[in-house]
Amino acid sequence: MDIQYIKGIGEKRAGLFHKLGLFAVSDLVTFYPRAYEDRTKLLPIAELVPGEAACFRAIVSSPVTGSRIRQGLELYKTKVFDETGEIRLTFFNAPYTVNALRQGGEYVFYGKPDDAGQIVNPVFEREEGNATGRILPVYRATAGLSQGTLRSAARQALAKTEPKEVLPDDLRQRYTLCHASFALENIHYPQNAELLAVARRRLVFEELLLLQLGLAARRVGRAAGPSFAPVDMAPFYKALPFTLTDAQKQAIADIQKDFSAGSCSRLIQGDVGSGKTAVAAAAAYIAFRNGFQAALMAPTEILAEQHMRSLGKLFAPLGLTVGLVTGRKKKEIAGVADGGVHLAVGTHALLSETVTFHNLGLVVTDEQHRFGVEQRKKLARDTQAHKLVMSATPIPRTLAQILYGDLDVTLMRGLPPGRTPVKTYVVGEQTRPRIEAFVRKTVAEGGQVYIVCPVIDESESGAASAEEFYEKAVRVTYKDLRVGLLHGKTKNRDSVMRSFAEGGLNILVATTVIEVGVDVPNATLMVVENAERFGLSQLHQLRGRVGRGSRESHCVLFRQSESAKERLSVMKRESDGFAIAEEDLRLRGPGDFFGSRQHGLPEFKIANLSEDLSVLQDSREAASALIRDDPALARPEHAALRAAVDALIARL
Ligand code: ADP
Ligand code: MG
């Protein structure tokens, strides 16, 4: 049923609804409110609290007066009172208030008092109308669509649709979940806060359950790769310049098990510097000894070249040929096609149509969160080969299993021995002279320094910019030193990075482009400007660029605001990426952590993984039980559920 069946939505308005992704009447039903206005309680004016939206009944004490502040800005002011007190109201560009709020009239207001003791733009209605005494939904809106219109549309949509119950009765009973129709009614127009919570839990459960069933189905449906026989790893281990850590050995054992079973789709999650490359190399070696080619895909050319160098050296004595395929380097394509290249290292250029493999048996994706959704889709289409995904984005295991639900997960905790944690300091502007002296000292002792800025140039808000810091460093601060600049718009990025890696530069001023793993063991100091602009996990990732050699390394976080002190101090205490990620999640909420950019899943309509962990656990348990008892969801009582899962898979 087209959305235009709703009263009040004509052709023109329909366009606005389309902007919100709403096309059918049923879309409105699952367009869940983003917030609520609680108008169930009327407070006396004396009990209003700054910053807390509330509802109150009051009498207008003076006529509304309007004044023009400047072109396009008119203020309308009045005062209202009840038996407990008086409060000022201010409206922006609201000439209608002059007639709508009459002196001596009694109205019910809803709004949020500010610190100055006034309420800006409260909503109001005469006496107790429709809205008073209820919890009202607040929807994501767009210019030209008022909450009133959205509310009325949702109301009508609820009346026009008969919600289908997809959750089987016994499951609803076991987990005390309310019926779909009750949940939908109460998510839009809750009778009270308790019923809202009941409704929400049910809908979150459903959303997470469907997602898990969908991912599980995809996992079952994934094609098997070639079956690899166990190989003698001794030559490989002998060629390695170090002994593997227990975590690395475990990861390799997991992969070997997958290989023997003929199906490997595994996520290797390990902190920056935990040694994931060696694990990937072991997997490539197994493929090689089984007569198959492997591909290792990195998100940047610089990183691909680094892998090329280190793996080329490692594999040379083992008879395994490594070739580089990037946007620029395509010479090796012939070798890839005829099988002369055993391990193709490259960027997403490896995915292009011009590259054909002789017999590809394994695809390893490094730093996979850096790849775009489209590239990942391309990767997923290639089902002939085993898949290994390596990521340093440390996310709690339960969440990893959701986000990468169609992958098995290996967690590599800890770092190879002999690493000293990077000493970290959080400093303010007054410490700058000392830090500059420290930079000089580091360089004088033969070390190298990164200076990381949050933005490229001044055009992007007031944050510290790489261009600006570079200019200043070259002209003033470090004019006797060799300073380079590297950011997303730098033309000769690779040569700058190479020059730094080879020691040709003392200082590299950069943006987060350096976040992804290039190894410069000689870099022992990292200075981050405007550190509060970064998430903790990102700072951790950045910090991983130093502390890669034997010398002690330092990380200095400049903060511009006092308020960031507590958050940043987590970096002083913690060196474990997982602990930092959990802290980040707690302090900042899931925001960009679970933005679709990161994981490529559709955004949640209602679930919030950082808040809904207990529902997540319940739904996980329920999903496992369902998969065990009725893997294809073929039983009649699961028909509706099956249809919902199929619809989700189609969307995925
Ligand atoms: P990441 O997991 O971040 O990709 P790398 O694979 O780049 O980490 O490894 C980081 C550094 O640690 C490299 O210089 C690598 O040679 C070294 N390394 C890896 N494994 C070990 C080990 N078991 N013992 C000592 N050093 C190791
Ligand atoms: Mg790496």
CATH number of the domain bearing residue 29:
1.10.150
Contacts of 430 (CB under 8 A, 6+ apart): none
Inter-CA distances, 43 with 46, 83, 104, 107, 108, Å? 8, 12, 20, 13, 10
Q: What is the pLDDT of residue 171?
A: 96
223 in Cβ contact with 383 (< 8 Å): yes
Residue 560 domain-assigned (yes or no): yes
Pocket test for ligand 1, best of 277, 314, 364, 578 (most atoms within 8 A of CB): 277
Nearest ligand to the C-alpha of residue 280? 1
Task: Specify the amino acid at residue 269.
Answer: Q
Q: Are residues 289 and 346 in the same domain?
A: yes
| Single residue among 359, 385, 412 that ends a domain in this structure | 412
Q: Are residues 13 and 148 in the same domain?
A: yes
Q: Are residues 112 and 149 in the same domain?
A: no
Q: Are residues 54 and 85 in the same domain?
A: yes
Local confidence band at 426 (pLDDT 50, 70, 90 cut-offs): very high
Q: Are residues 66 and 199 in the same domain?
A: no
Enumerate residues lining ligand 1, CB below 6 A. Answer: 242-245, 248, 270, 272-278, 392, 416, 517, 519, 548
CA nearest to 271, candidates 416, 412, 418: 412
| Single residue among 526, 545, 574 that ends a domain in this structure | 574
Q: What is the pLDDT of residue 557?
A: 97
Average pLDDT (590-600) is 45
Q: Are residues 437 and 492 in the same domain?
A: yes
How many residues make up the chain in this entry? Answer: 652
Pocket test for ligand 1, best of 237, 242, 516, 542 (most atoms within 8 A of CB): 242
Place of tokens 């390990």: 270
Total Cβ atoms within 10 A of residue 543: 27
Find how far residue 154's CA is from the centre of its chain. 30
> Domain holding 284: CATH number?
3.40.50.300
Residue 227 domain-assigned (yes or no): no
- Domain, as residue range, for 540: 423-574
Distance from residue 279's CA to the centre of ligand 1 (Å): 10
- Is it the case that residue 223 has pLDDT exceeding 60? yes
Within 240-300, residue ranges assigned H as helices are 246-261, 276-289
- Is it the case that residue 81 has pLDDT exceeding 50? yes
Average pLDDT (386-415) is 76
Local confidence band at 403 (pLDDT 50, 70, 90 cut-offs): low
Element holding 304 (H helix, E strand): helix 301-315
Residue 357 domain-assigned (yes or no): yes
What is the spatial distance between Cα 181 and Cα 131, in angstroms, rounded to a whole number?
Answer: 22
Residue 596 domain-assigned (yes or no): no
What phi and psi values does residue 30 have, to the nearest 5 degrees? Answer: -100, 15
What is the spatial distance between Cα 285 and Cα 283, in angstroms, rounded to a whole number?
Answer: 5
Which residues is 37 bridged to in the sheet?
136
Helix (H, G, I), strand (E, B) or coil at 511: coil
Beta-carbon-side half-sphere exposure of residue 302 (alpha carbons within 13 Å): 21
Distance from residue 595's CA to the centre of ligand 2 (Å): 23
Residue 304 domain-assigned (yes or no): yes
Contacts of 434 (CB under 8 A, 6+ apart): none
Q: Are residues 448 and 550 in the same domain?
A: yes
Q: What is the pLDDT of residue 594?
A: 45
Using DSSP bridges, classify how beta strands 293-297 and 360-365 pair: parallel, antiparallel or unpaired: parallel
- Is it the case that residue 104 has pLDDT exceeding 90? yes
Average pLDDT (284-312) is 92
Residue 523 domain-assigned (yes or no): yes
Inter-CA distances, 256 with 228, 269, 285, 411, 412, Å? 8, 17, 11, 16, 16
Q: Are residues 401 and 429 in the same domain?
A: no
Element holding 137 (H helix, E strand): strand 135-138
300 in Cβ contact with 292 (< 8 Å): no
Q: What is the pLDDT of residue 382?
A: 58
Distance from residue 613's CA to the centre of ligand 1 (Å): 33
Residue 585 domain-assigned (yes or no): no
| Single residue among 388, 412, 436 that ends a domain in this structure | 412
Dihedral sign (CA 113, 114, 118, 121):
negative
Average pLDDT (573-601) is 64
Local confidence band at 373 (pLDDT 50, 70, 90 cut-offs): low
Q: What is the pLDDT of residue 595?
A: 41
Q: Are residues 28 and 59 in the same domain?
A: no
Q: What is the pLDDT of residue 598?
A: 44
Q: What is the pLDDT of residue 596?
A: 36
Q: What is the pLDDT of residue 398?
A: 60
Q: What is the pLDDT of residue 558?
A: 95
Total Cβ atoms within 10 A of residue 526: 26
Nearest ligand to the C-alpha of residue 276? 1
Q: What is the pLDDT of residue 597?
A: 41
Distance from residue 271's CA to the centre of ligand 2 (Å): 9
Q: Are residues 325 and 393 in the same domain?
A: yes
| Mean pLDDT estimate for the chain | 87
Write out the E strands in 374-456. 386-391, 408-412, 423-427, 448-452
Question: What total number of domains does the chain contain?
Answer: 5
pLDDT tens for residues 605-646? 888 776 787 898 899 899 989 988 998 999 999 999 999 999
Q: Are residues 154 and 20 in the same domain?
A: yes
What is the spatial distance between Cα 284 and Cα 361, in angstroms, rounded to a whole number?
Answer: 9
Contacts of 637 (CB under 8 A, 6+ apart): 168, 169
What phi and psi values does residue 67 have, to the nearest 5 degrees? Answer: -145, 145
Q: Are residues 296 and 326 in the same domain?
A: yes
Local confidence band at 61 (pLDDT 50, 70, 90 cut-offs): very high
